[in-house]
Amino acid sequence: MFSLNGVSKRFGSFAALQPLDLDFRQEQTSVLIGPSGCGKSTLLKLMIRLLEPDSGEIRFDREAVTPGNIQALRHQMGYVIQEGGLFPHLTVEQNITLVARYLNWSESRIRQRLGELSELTRIPESLWHRFPLQLSGGQRQRVSLMRALMLDPKVLLLDEPLGALDPMIRANLQQDLKEIFNRLRKTVVLVTHDMGEAAFFGDEIILMRQGRIVQQGTITTLVNQPADPFVKDFIQAQRQVTVIAENDQ
């Protein structure tokens, strides 16, 4: 679905992303994970062309992504960021349908799609006329997902979509998201800093450090066959958080 060849990105003297090759397979959930500043969010922004690569080529569905075609290609990409990124001056319905109305969808088509997404994400019609600040954090993320899915895109790109939520809401939304991914069979690329979340969602996990891919594979492969001491240390550090919490009980 997505193919990156020799893609790199610098910000001044800082190499945010070293030249890398990476393929994201169709109908698979791939998770980008690593410490802050490792390049995972930069990579996602390059894929949707919010940033221009310094080198290399990005292909989406075998078509090269360029400044000339990115606007059209974005209609096939759903993008969700932390805290939703909703327009505060627009209602839930207006946020979700903004691009569909820009593309001159008929009102009947819009209403039908809204109904489908409302059922899918558990956002009732009674909330459609509220503004984002009148919603809970979990509701805002569900609305953001509705907006991302409105045009029925081929791929979903999610940049730490659950990072700002409290643990209980996050756990519930994780389960709902996984069910949605399985039901829709979309290609999903998700950024997180949480290994537990990566293991829960990921068909493939891509662990990054300092703009490079350290290892990619299933969670079982990363745990049992770490390719680098950093892989073992990164996983162990997150395990220790759980151990400390259990010992404090």
What percent of the chain lies above the pLDDT cut of 90? 64
What's the confidence (pLDDT) of residue 247? 43
Report the chain's terminal Cα–Cα distance, integer Å. Answer: 45
The mean per-residue pLDDT over the stretch 108-122 comes to 93
Q: pTM here?
A: 0.88
- Beta-sheet pairing, 187-192 with 29-33: parallel
Model pLDDT for residues 179-218, shown as the tens digit of each residue:
888 888 899 999 998 888 898 899 999 999 999 999 999 9
pLDDT of residue 114: 94
Three-state DSSP string of 10-75: EECCEEEEEEEEEEECCCCEEEEECCCCCCHHHHHHHHCCCCCCCEEEEEECCEECCCCCHHHHHH
Q: Supply 148's token pair.
A: 């991302």
Q: What is the mean pLDDT of residues 109-115?
A: 95
Average pLDDT, the chain: 89
Extents of the domains making up the chain: 2-85+154-247
Report the pLDDT value the prediction gives residue 229, as an integer from 0 to 100. Answer: 92
Domain 2-85+154-247, what fold?
Rossmann fold (3.40.50)
**DSSP 8-state symbol, 165:** S
Instruction: Kindly indicate the confidence band of residue 236, based on its pLDDT and cuts at 50, 70 and 90.
Output: confident
* Higher per-residue pLDDT: 248 or 3: 3
pLDDT in tens, 141-175: 899 999 999 999 999 999 988 776 777 778 888 88
Q: Is the pLDDT of residue 230 over 80?
A: yes
pLDDT of residue 127 exceeding 90, the answer is yes
